[in-house]
Structure 1
């Protein structure tokens, strides 16, 4: 490598000219120096890295590993999430050569991190300690262990002396405090959800400890996460959250308290509803509030109406949406179906929208069923039991054209679709292929990813039309994919 003195001599020669100060191969020496400078420091003797711990989980079966490699290479890439979830449910670990590629997917897509936390295994955690981009895996694995009971809610491993929890709001131990203090928002949220599933009281204690120091965005997200394991034990905390200075936090707290009919908010909303809406014969008469006072805003009622909506109608809609549904059946002494069939008067739209929102918030299938018969909304469909949801979806597929509303409705029906819905969608694809083939993309995608993969032969026999065969091919791919994961390693 050229020394500083030598470099200065080269610069001097370049400035005065090689005729006056000759230097053999000036440009070559200058280039060599530049490359050497850019190469950085001289190499020093390094310390060997510690070896990764032995894998305790079984490896994925060979055929399954080959298939996920094909998915990562671009064959049916949309099925990666399904493969990861299915493999993680069987507690396999990935082939070592695929771990870095899968970890990179977790960097880009947070929804994949939970199954990756299982599948990456000991080698994945070893790699995550060396690459900051993959550090999410260390916390994701911890969250997974907490959720499955392999780690106690306080952060200690079962059988190692870690706290095991108790009914009260005890303070979590220092290990959890460290994790909670230094994790990212997404990682902390994942951990909180797992902790809520394992021990809601400890999760609530964790939130209480530093609640005022959390950002408004974090407070809103953490309140939303309390939906897991929600009970009246959470009511005092959520009632306190209604005093938060940020509207988003108050709104999330009000939505959860609406799911608790005995909550103080539920009683206050019922009192407001009684003043606003009354039954007169077979007709409802409504008188929306004249103003949105501070108490209403504290309870999650937004004062400013969306564009195109009157303020009073907006306030009425929100009051109805946060009123316990049992209030209406008890006050009017009628069933949900009978109440929905009443003449709702001039404020019918606001009242019905409020009931629809209430049915979703309170996860009430009786009200959802009654309201869905009047207006088949996707949100209401999601509240119904899975079998009934699929049957009603199949009826709508027969009756509706392929449009955004149909796609949205089908998007609310989780996989795997049963035989009736799958056949209805396949027939709709076949019917539409000859008339509007350009309108089939989303419907084909949903059928391919949501239908029961065991239906691949039914789809293949139905028609040689390309859209139908595309669904059949994807279903066959998924069928083989899941079968390979069932094989013994």
Structure 2
């Protein structure tokens, strides 16, 4: 048992049951100081000096706002602050590093920018404290040959954006030497600029020993309707789904697969279903989701209107998944009307995402589904969606003010901060003014960062 584990264990059971030699609180304070300073408890000797920084730190006002955010003032804005700061090419000041690195230990979502923002001193601290060594795996701006896994993914992404073929050739040249974890991440990078030129490489990746690599390759091949995998999936769907005409109109007849063979697993079908879903239903959903949507030869709205005597919910859930995987805007619109989930919005342009979300806000009561839909809108909310949400806040404030917390926070965090005057003038209601204050906070945050 380590010193920290011993202290926490004693504190939990009480010194009455587990006597502790000395002052427990004093020992805990010393241990906390050691951990936050980046030194391993019990370590002897003096570490090497921290290297000199290469990047300039953000300005004083920006740094002070970072400390305020980490101290609890609008703390959900921390990812936005970090992204904006990273875009400036600056780093955070040294005094903010211990708290920021501790935050990154607990919250993976903020790590993506820390490799750059923490600077050389941050990486030096990460080498001293095992709790912070995750930082050593984050991008720092190094090259393909010299960088770690995250740096190499970032380099490959930049190369892919500049020339898809060159990035793929680079990946092919080192593929056999990459670790399984790295291979899965590198495959996902190929989503940018994906084309049939990538199909031979991705088809080969279906034979990888690592399931995550096979899944990543299958997900990309699903977006290529002419790929060999997509054609195999189409044949599987044809074997178990037919559309026939009856007196009442067209009917979709379904006979779910009875077995998941090795060929299906190679193509990304997972044999073991999640809890609560039967095997046949699970296999059916996966083959439909990975078959080209053009296979159905009908508009999605027409298909949704057809009767499906058996496996109705499974087929429609598979269409939702297919629209997400294949990023088909027509299907995403139609399926959002059937099952309004945030993932479907990703297939649509930002303006249309906001239009659909605004319409949903108008028509839907405030509940967890509305919150999830709004959380899925990918860009800053423009005037249309902002106005719809502000109206909803005013309406709910008059009837259910206790139910407004999350909606008001989302509005303040996602509305374009340039619209803060719209919120200020919209209504004197306290929740609206809270939204306006948060928008103004973000305006000031962005003003400070280039300084």
- Under TM normalisation by the shorter chain, which class is it? 0.7 to 0.9
Residue 154 (str. 1) matches residue 145 (str. 2): yes
Q: CA RMSD in A?
A: 3.2
1:117 and 2:115 matched: yes
Aligned to 1:291: 259
* CA distance, structure 1, for counterparts of residue 213 and residue 90 of structure 2: 39
CA drift at 1:261: 1.9
TM-score with structure 2 setting the length: 0.77
1:270 to 228, 234, 251: 234
Q: Distance in 1 between matches of 2:109 and 2:224?
A: 29
Residue 79 of structure 2 corresponds to: 81
Q: CA deviation at 1:393?
A: 0.3
Q: What does 1:375-454 align with in structure 2 at a 5 Å threshold?
A: 375-454=339-418
- Structure 2 vs 1, CA of residues 111 and 292 (structure 1 numbering), >3 Å: closer, same or farther? closer
- With 79-88 and 370-379 compared, the bigger mean Cα shift is at 370-379
SS at match of 1:438: helix
Structure 2: how far apart are the matches of 1:410 and 1:437?
A: 19
**For structure 1, which runs of at least 5 residues remain unmatched after alignment?**
1-39, 156-175, 180-187
Residue 478 of structure 1, CA deviation: 0.8
CA distance in 2, matches of 1:295, 1:224: 22
Q: Are residues 58 and 244 of structure 1, via their aligned partners in 2, closer, same or farther at CA, if it must alter by over 3 Å?
A: closer
CA distance in 2, matches of 1:243, 1:127: 40
- Once the two structures are superposed, the pairs formed by residues 21-420 of structure 1 within 5 Å of their partners are 52-53=51-52, 55=54, 57-125=55-123, 127-128=125-126, 133-140=131-138, 143-146=139-142, 151=143, 153-155=144-146, 179=148, 188=149, 191-192=152-153, 194-198=155-159, 199-210=167-178, 214=180, 223-224=187-188, 227-228=191-192, 230-243=194-207, 249-281=213-245, 282-328=250-296, 332=297, 334-420=298-384
Contact kept? 1:197, 1:229, Cα under 8 Å: no
Corresponding residue SS for 2:243: strand
The residue that corresponds to 1:162 in the other structure is none
Alignment check: 8 A CA contact 2:66 2:78 kept: yes
Does the C-alpha gap of structure 1 residues 130 and 372 become closer, same or farther in structure 2, counting only changes over 3 Å? closer
Using the alignment, how far apart are the partners of 2:282 and 2:102 within structure 1? Answer: 45
Aligned-partner Cα distance in 2 for 1:271–1:103: 51
Inter-partner Cα distance in structure 2 for 1:128 and 1:299: 40
Flag the structure with larger Rg.
Answer: 1
Mapping of 1:441-480 within 5 angstroms? 441-480=405-444
Separation in structure 2 between the aligned mates of residue 298 and residue 219 of structure 1, nearest angstrom: 17
Give the match's secondary structure for 1:53. Answer: coil
Match of 1:167 in 2: none
Single out whichever of 59-68 and 418-427 deviates more from structure 2. Answer: 59-68
SS at match of 2:419: helix
Cα distance in 2 between the residues matched to 1:466 and 1:398: 21
Q: How many residues align?
A: 399
Question: Is contact 2:357-2:385 (8 Å) kept?
Answer: yes
Give the TM-score normalised by structure 1: 0.72
Aligned to 1:283, the other structure's residue is in SS state strand
Aligned partner of residue 279 in structure 1, secondary structure: strand
Name 2:10's counterpart in structure 1: none
